[in-house]
Amino acid sequence: MSSLFQTYARYPLAFVKGQGSWLWDDKGNKYLDFMSGLAVTNLGHAPKKVSDKLKEQIDTLWHTSNLFIVPKQEEAAQKLAEVAQADAVFFCNSGAEANEAAIKLARRYFQKVKGEERYEIVTLGKSFHGRTLATLTATGQDKVKEGFLPLPAGFVTVPPNDIRAIEDAVNERTAAVMIEMVQAEGGVYPLDETYAKQIEQLCRDKGILLIVDEVQTGMGRTGAWFAHHRYGLKPDIFTVAKGVASGFPAGAMLGREYLKEAFIAGSHATTFGGTPLASSAIIATIETMQEDDLPQHAAKIGELLAGELRKELGDHPFVQEVRGLGLLIGIECTGPVGDLVLEGQKRGLLFVTAGPNVIRLLPNLYVSEEEVHQAVNLLTSIIQEKVPTHSV
Ligand SMILES: *Cc1c(COP(=O)(O)O)cnc(C)c1O
């Protein structure tokens, strides 16, 4: 009997080793990993440069406190701000915590700097922003809210792809609109470009903040350092976590210069944010990505993957659409795909779902052309052999 709260429906697989795109289980079986720990191990498993830097840091210094200057944290902030084109960084430990910081910063900016009683955050249906009370309230999916009443006030969710719905929701209490550039958990829906631009313009016109949740899209996955770069947006605040430190737990909230005065000493804090260890992992991740021009590679190999999937599966009656951005790809099917995930595991290919009918592929950003072909071949044979065409 496990001593854990049973909060996860776990697959009966236990991995004990990983290298690059590959994982090994406790029975010695090998798997091609096209989920990357849910968009976390973006540099593959045990990336050498990050692991070397972490080992060095482990022998030097783990933790002091944010009561002191943390030189590695300063360095990580500078590097992250540079590649993200942001002005200020707050380090934390997870995506939900980064989004909490974003929500708090937006509220405090209006209430303390602008002297306006604005607090409401408008979010989109199908969105996912985390599991803390505030971020699950912000999330546009009812299933994460069940049994957790009362929910905090100050959140409004509107249907996606309807700019009028946002216009109608914005009022004198609105502080921000919060979006994902690709709704990943919700089914891998990249936001329509015109709609995204309209949201930004609306925020400018109304004098409210645009928050972009880049927790899953962040750091190279979509073929740019951040997905909003591909859309040409300039959010006031954005967040990152999953891929920011190659699997070391870390998150960050980034913002523009004018927001700096909203957070002063004592406004917000977290014990483990930006420790020398976490900061080393972040620095090494960014340096590695820069050296290898990884966002560029992700864009190129992402196109190959989406193209191959369309070529091999586009005509199959079970497959409705292949969509995504860079190496965040969804395959919308006409029926449930849960069993295909299990079949993949049997055949040595790991992938996940995004909602009941969508297969989600999240390979690491170094994935090779050969591995892409291997995965597409496996997935194609699984769908051809396991989905009886008469049932679709
Ligand atoms: C995973 C995810 C989160 C939550 O991140 P945690 O680290 O699990 O708290 C928030 N937003 C998006 C878009 C995510 O994909």
CATH class given for the domain over 15-46+293-328+354-391: alpha beta
CATH class given for the domain over 48-291: alpha beta
pLDDT tier at 1, thresholds 50, 70, 90: confident
Is residue 171 predicted with pLDDT exceeding 60? yes
Q: What is the mean pLDDT of residues 54-68?
A: 98
Element (H, E) at 253: strand 251-255
Is residue 375 predicted with pLDDT exceeding 80? yes
| Residue 253 β-bridge partners | 90, 239
Q: What is the pLDDT of residue 391?
A: 55
Cα 20 to ligand 1 centre (Å): 23
pLDDT digit string (tens) for 324-342?
Answer: 999 999 999 999 999 999 9
pLDDT digit string (tens) for 225-251?
Answer: 999 999 999 999 999 999 999 999 999
Q: Which residues contact 243 (CB under 8 A, 6 or more apart)?
A: 39, 40, 41, 42, 218, 219, 220, 221, 285
Q: What is the mean pLDDT of the chain?
A: 97
Is residue 202 predicted with pLDDT exceeding 60? yes
Q: What is the pLDDT of residue 153?
A: 98
Is residue 277 predicted with pLDDT exceeding 80? yes
Cα 282 to ligand 1 centre (Å): 17
- Mutational test site, ligand 1, from 42, 129, 178, 226, max ligand atoms within 8 Å of CB: 129
Q: What is the pLDDT of residue 298?
A: 98
Ligand 1: which atom is nearest the Cα of residue 97? Answer: 9
Q: What is the pLDDT of residue 392?
A: 52
Q: What is the pLDDT of residue 139?
A: 98
Distance separating alpha carbons of residues 313 and 309, to the nearest angstrom: 6
Q: What is the mean pLDDT of residues 111-138?
A: 98
Cα 130 to ligand 1 centre (Å): 5
Cα 248 to ligand 1 centre (Å): 15
Cα 247 to ligand 1 centre (Å): 13
Q: What is the pLDDT of residue 131?
A: 98
pLDDT tier at 21, thresholds 50, 70, 90: very high
- 180 close to ligand 1 (CB < 6 Angstrom): yes
**pTM for the model:** 0.98
pLDDT digit string (tens) for 69-93?
Answer: 999 999 999 999 999 999 999 999 9
Q: What is the DSSP string of 95-147?
A: HHHHHHHHHHHHHHIIIIII-----EEEEETT----SSHHHHHHSS-GGGTTT
- 130 close to ligand 1 (CB < 6 Angstrom): yes
Residue given tokens 């199908």 in the structure block: 126
Q: What is the pLDDT of residue 388?
A: 74
Is residue 389 predicted with pLDDT exceeding 80? no
- 123 close to ligand 1 (CB < 6 Angstrom): no
Q: What is the pLDDT of residue 390?
A: 61
pLDDT digit string (tens) for 284-311?
Answer: 999 999 999 999 999 999 999 999 999 9
List the domain boundaries for the chain: 15-46+293-328+354-391, 48-291
